[in-house]
Structure formats: C-alpha cells, structure tokens
C-alpha cells in the first residue's frame, strides 16, 4: 500500500517530458510548486470566509491534486502529440509521392510546406535546412526520429535512397504499399481504441455514480460533524 502511494508521487520521466517540449525543468518546477501553493491558499481562505470545514480540510488535497495534475496533463499532451504525428505522417508521404512524380526529392519537400500542418510543417522546414548543409542520410533520420515510430525511419531512408539514385515506378509503388499499410494499421488501432472505450463506458458510469455517492456521504458526515458542539 505504501509503495503504491509512493509510486504515485514518483515522476522519474518528468525531466524528459519537459525536455521533449523544450521546457526548462527547474523553472517549470518552481512555477508548478508556486501555483499549487497559491491554489491551496485560495481554497483555504475561501473555506475560512465561507465557514466551510470540508474546504479547509480538503485544501491541501486540492493543492496536491493540482500539483499532480500538471504532470499528468503534460504526459497526456505528449501522448496525444505522438498520436497526431503518427496519423499525419502517412498523409504527408502520400502527398509527397504525388509531387515526386514530376519533381525531385528536394523540390518536392519544399513544395510540401504549403500542403502540411503543424507539427510536421515545422519539422519539414528543419529537414530542408539540414539538407542544405548535410547531404547524408542524417537529416532524413533526424526527421524520422521526431515521428517516434520505427516505420518512419524505413520510409525516410527509402526517400534518401531515392534522392541519391534515380527513381522508377517500381520504387514508388513499393513506398506507396508501405504507406497504405501504415494507414491500415492506424485504422485498426482506432477501431481497437473505440472498442475499449465502449467496454469501459458502462464501468466508468458505475464508478462515477459510486464516487458521487461516496462524496455526498463524506460531505454529509463533515456537515453533521461541524454542527456538533463539544
């Protein structure tokens, strides 16, 4: 039990999470602690002014929840960002393949800036700048690393190979098949997620009702306790 409670407060990946977003760890932690203390004080003051004992008692817990929620929020934000890039990447490559029919790799990448949204648009600009200074596979590998899934490395390596050698229809078909497979995998994953949500929904509803009943019971107990004079 104690180990589970302690694990709740452990945030060993926080520094990496903040670094992923380009946020300074020490500065972020100072702001996080400061804002959590302010929330705690505000709830405490409101509880004293309104003579609500449950708010006074709960103020440290609310501050702690706010503190922890900031970590959970940024973790969720990273997860959503990775999922977004994974969905956008196949579309990006499909549009690029259309341009490749009449352009070389470099010119196709430049033209793609007008046809892609963030965050990949920013990564694409960085890729083009890196290619201007480095003709090796490294710029393509750096771009793939920002997608954060292994198939991106395979696709970008193929694009680099195409940029170094003349492309033919066979190569384009091979890459198109790979992208189609990525699309199918994404569709299957979305279907599985919806299945899990449908399974969890009834249980979530029951748990929500139990939580509401439990919260109401605690509120009534505190209210009765506050009215008792010793």
Q: Per-residue pLDDT tens for 70-106?
A: 998 999 899 889 888 888 888 898 888 888 888 888 9
pLDDT in tens, 170-205: 566 666 676 766 666 665 555 455 545 454 444 545
Contacts of 43 (CB under 8 A, 6+ apart): 55, 58, 59, 62, 63
Is residue 77 in some structural domain? Answer: no
Is residue 205 in some structural domain? Answer: no
How far is Cα of residue 82 from the mean position of the Cα atoms in its chain?
6
The confidence score (pLDDT) of residue 228 equals: 46
Is residue 34 in some structural domain? Answer: no
Helices (H) and strands (E) counted in the chain, each on its own, are 9, 0
The confidence score (pLDDT) of residue 210 equals: 62
Q: What is the DSSP string of 119-167?
A: THHHHHHHHHHHHHH--SSHHHHHHHHHHTSHHHHHHHHHHHHHHHS--
Residue 24, by phi and psi: left (phi above 0), alpha (psi -120 to 50) or beta? beta
Is residue 22 in some structural domain? Answer: no
Domain of 178 in residue numbering reads as 83-188
Domain count, the chain: 1
The confidence score (pLDDT) of residue 40 equals: 93
| Sign for the pseudo-dihedral over CA of 128, 110, 83, 17 | positive
> How far are the Cα atoms of 8, 32, 103, 199 from residue 55, in angstroms, in the given order?
23, 22, 66, 35
SS3 call for 21: coil
Is residue 24 in some structural domain? Answer: no
pLDDT in tens, 112-136: 999 889 899 999 999 999 999 998 8
- Tokens for 39? 């929330």
The confidence score (pLDDT) of residue 230 equals: 43
Q: Which residue has the tokens 């352009």?
A: 103
Q: Which residue has the tokens 């990448």?
A: 109
Q: List the one residue out of 146, 152, 147, 160 whose CA is nearest residue 104.
A: 160
Q: Are 144 and 130 in contact (CB under 8 A)?
A: no
Judge whether residue 151 has pLDDT over 50: yes
The confidence score (pLDDT) of residue 36 equals: 92
- Tokens for 67? 């503190």
């Amino acid at each position: 039990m104690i180990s589970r409670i302690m694990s709740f407060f452990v945030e060993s990946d926080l520094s990496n999470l903040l670094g992923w977003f380009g946020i300074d760890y020490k500065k972020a932690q100072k702001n996080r602690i400061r804002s959590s203390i302010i929330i705690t004080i505000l709830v405490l003051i409101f509880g004293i002014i309104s003579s609500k004992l449950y708010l006074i008692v709960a103020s440290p817990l609310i501050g702690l929840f706010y503190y922890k929620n900031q970590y959970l929020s940024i973790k969720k934000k990273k997860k959503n960002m990775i999922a977004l890039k994974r969905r956008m990447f196949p579309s990006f490559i499909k549009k690029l393949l259309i341009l490749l029919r009449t352009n070389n790799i470099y010119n196709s990448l430049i033209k793609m800036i007008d046809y892609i949204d963030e965050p990949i648009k920013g990564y694409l600009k960085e890729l083009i700048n890196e290619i201007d200074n480095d003709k090796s596979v490294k710029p393509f590998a750096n771009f793939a690393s920002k997608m954060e899934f292994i198939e991106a490395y395979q696709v970008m390596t193929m694009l680099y190979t195409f940029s170094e050698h003349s492309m033919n229809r066979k190569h384009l078909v091979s890459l198109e098949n790979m992208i189609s497979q990525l699309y199918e995998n994404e569709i299957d994953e979305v279907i599985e997620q919806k299945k899990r949500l449908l399974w969890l929904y009834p249980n979530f509803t029951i748990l929500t009702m139990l939580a509401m009943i439990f919260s109401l019971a605690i509120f009534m107990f505190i209210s009765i306790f506050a009215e008792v004079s010793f």
